[in-house]
Amino acid sequence: MTYRISLQPGGHAFDAADDQTVLEAALGAGLLLPHSCRDGACGACKGRVVQGTVDHGTFSAGALSAADQADGYALFCCARPLSDLVLEARNVTRAGDIPVRKLPSRVQKLQRLAGDVMLLDLKLPASEAFRFNAGQYVDILLADGQRRSFSIANAPHDAGHIELHVRRIDGGRFTTQVFEGMKEKDILRLEGPLGSFWLREETQRPIVMLAGGTGFAPIKGIVEHAIETGLQRPITLYWGARDRAGLYLDELARSWESALPGLRYIPVLSDEAPGDAWDGRRGLVHQAVLDDFADLSGHEVYACGAPAMIDAARASFCGERGLPEDAFFADAFTFANTAT
């Protein structure tokens, strides 16, 4: 069965089969709804169901609370229509503004940034212009049709290649290949750019950036874009890791304070190793933000990391510090660990 879906306030409309999520149907119709993880974890795609009913699907309780559901909200990456729908979805753009493409790429560098983090640098075809917004991600397309998603860690002004930060996952099929079998000049196919995690440049609000582990990758792309464009807005960047090795590009992040006036970098360790000799901030990275900001009502927050970090940050920043829901932009990392 096919249902008609209408979007407010933009007046867009499209059809969706009952086995499609709202997001899948919108993307198929050339409409880019705000989204990131596509796994019900980050909450970037949350919007209100004005009319009609949906099957909410499987999602993280932190991304869509029981109170949210009672107020009529759904996650469009998980929700499937059970009737015609009228939805409230803001910041909808035409997907064709930056086309999603499938391209071959060649591995031109593999660099171990930490024991469990590899920089994977992919050269793109010189004849194929690849456009993206800083902070978006690509899917690596595996031979059997499976996909693995990785954030782009470089800025779009340097778009002849893309830089990915790959964390090794025990039993991970693709990450094991990266760490044990991949070599320079190997060919990979990718699809992108994907997601709606990028810097909103139409406001002048001060920015808080929050990265956990390899969630630093898209934040790096956004900061390098800000340096390239001479962004004037104040930025406070928090990068959390378990130990010092987890801050795998710490010196680069420290250098940004000189390269971009107004940027302040605050690394935070939650479980430093005995030999780390750490004299910086300790604890959970979102708590460091709470310790420093009594009021976030006039800010924008860009957060990338594990779903638990995103959930905690959203709940505390919006619930305790007055951050508007529509000023919290997130990308939650989930991992596929099947080795077959």
| pLDDT confidence band for 123 (50 / 70 / 90) | very high
Q: How far, in Å, CA of 201 to CA of 243, rounded?
A: 33
| pLDDT confidence band for 33 (50 / 70 / 90) | confident
Which tokens belong to 316?
Answer: 């505390």
Q: How far, in Å, CA of 220 to CA of 215, rounded?
A: 9
Please give the DSSP secondary-structure letter assigned to residue 23: H
Whether 336 has a pLDDT exceeding 70, the answer reads: no
Who wins on pLDDT, 275 or 123?
Answer: 123
Whether 113 has a pLDDT exceeding 70, the answer reads: yes
Q: Which residue has the tokens 């505390």?
A: 316
For the entire predicted model, the pTM comes to 0.81
Answer yes or no: are the C-beta atoms of 40 and 57 closer than 8 Å.
yes
> What local confidence, expressed as pLDDT, does residue 136 receive?
93
Whether 97 has a pLDDT exceeding 80, the answer reads: no
The phi and psi torsions of 313 (rounded to 5 degrees) equal -65, -45
Residue 133 CB partners (closer than 8 Å, separation 6+): 98, 156, 193, 198, 199
The average pLDDT across 161-183 equals: 94
Q: How far, in Å, CA of 132 to CA of 157, rounded?
A: 9
Q: How far, in Å, CA of 288 to CA of 278, rounded?
A: 16
Strand 263-269 and strand 161-167: pairing?
Answer: unpaired
The candidate with the shortest Cα–Cα distance to 236, out of 260, 263, 217, is: 263
SS3 309: helix
> What are the structural domains, with CATH classification, of the chain?
2-95 (3.10.20.30), 99-194 (2.40.30.10), 207-332 (3.40.50.80)
Q: Which residue has the tokens 């024991």?
A: 115
